[in-house]
Amino acid sequence: MVTPEAMVSLRNLTVSYRQHPALHHISGSFAPGSLTAVVGPNGSGKSTLLKSIVGLLPIEGGALAVAPPRERIAYLPQMAEIDRGFPIDVRDCVLLGCWGAAGAWGAVNRAMLTRVDAALQAVGLEGFERRSIGSLSSGQLQRVMFARMLVQDAELILLDEPFNAVDARTTAALLGLVRQWHGQRRTVIAVLHDDAMVRQHFPQTVLLARELVGWGATGEVLTEPNLRRARAMAEAWDENAELCGTDTAAAQEAAA
């Protein structure tokens, strides 16, 4: 399956933590230039999906194909996972977005610094260059992370709950950047909890409850019956469920 024209393709994807599946038999694809929300109840595998795409988790079964190389993928983890104690200032943090262009030992050039300044201006953080990231509010830190993605110039952008703990004004500003990326034909996948925002701004939706409940046009996926079904599936899920027979057989076959 893994269709050549897809930015990301999943075929029967299963991902587990210590043999307990967090994503179970998911199939579908993200088209280049698509703007997709990933929604579902708590614990339904949304973050696991993004981490799998970015290569942070091994896959248990099925196939996952990601078209761009790692340096063309921008990944924004949940804010709680960002180490705010790391001793780095705003400018250097944004400059890290250039690592794909500079390489591990590459020198920082003037063009990169100009891009960093332009990105900080775009997110409304001029004057914050020398502030340590630990001294920022949640909304300011999220603006820094978006500035970093602006300089990264990624083809595929993965955002995990990007508007959590962010006020309405900052959310509107950052949503503007998401729309800009979409206009530039970048592929954006965002984990979100706000159904109204998804309906208004995200044309495509993936609805998860560890298994796939729906994937397609937002108006067709975010229906009341689908949302009820996702809630019921999440409530009925056994946290300690083992892999199903098909997965176990496939894993044994792969190991043989």
- Contact residues toward ligand ATP (CB under 6 A) are 17, 22, 40, 42-48, 239
CB of 218 to ligand ATP, least distance (A): 18
Alpha carbons 12 and 59: distance in angstroms, whole number: 11
Alpha carbons 106 and 100: distance in angstroms, whole number: 10
Q: How many CB atoms lie within 10 A of CB 136?
A: 18
CB of 75 to ligand ATP, least distance (A): 14
Amino acid at position 208, single letter: L
Q: Determine the 3-state secondary structure of 120 from DSSP.
A: helix
Q: Which is nearer to ligand ATP, 118 or 232 (CB)?
A: 232
How remote is the C-alpha of 47 from its chain's centroid?
7
Q: Which is nearer to ligand ATP, 97 or 162 (CB)?
A: 162
CB of 57 to ligand ATP, least distance (A): 9
CB of 216 to ligand ATP, least distance (A): 19
Q: Determine the 3-state secondary structure of 206 from DSSP.
A: strand
Alpha carbons 135 and 22: distance in angstroms, whole number: 35
Alpha carbons 213 and 177: distance in angstroms, whole number: 29
* Contact by Cβ (8 Å): 9, 29: yes
Q: Determine the 3-state secondary structure of 104 from DSSP.
A: coil
Amino acid at position 255, single letter: A
Q: Which is nearer to ligand ATP, 22 or 178 (CB)?
A: 22
Q: Which is nearer to ligand ATP, 43 or 139 (CB)?
A: 43
- The dihedrals phi and psi of 233, each to the nearest 5 degrees, come to -65, -40
Q: Which is nearer to ligand ATP, 25 or 46 (CB)?
A: 46
Q: Element (H or E) spanning 82, and its range?
A: none
Q: Which is nearer to ligand ATP, 55 or 183 (CB)?
A: 55
Q: Which is nearer to ligand ATP, 48 or 152 (CB)?
A: 48
Alpha carbons 30 and 18: distance in angstroms, whole number: 28
CB of 241 to ligand ATP, least distance (A): 10
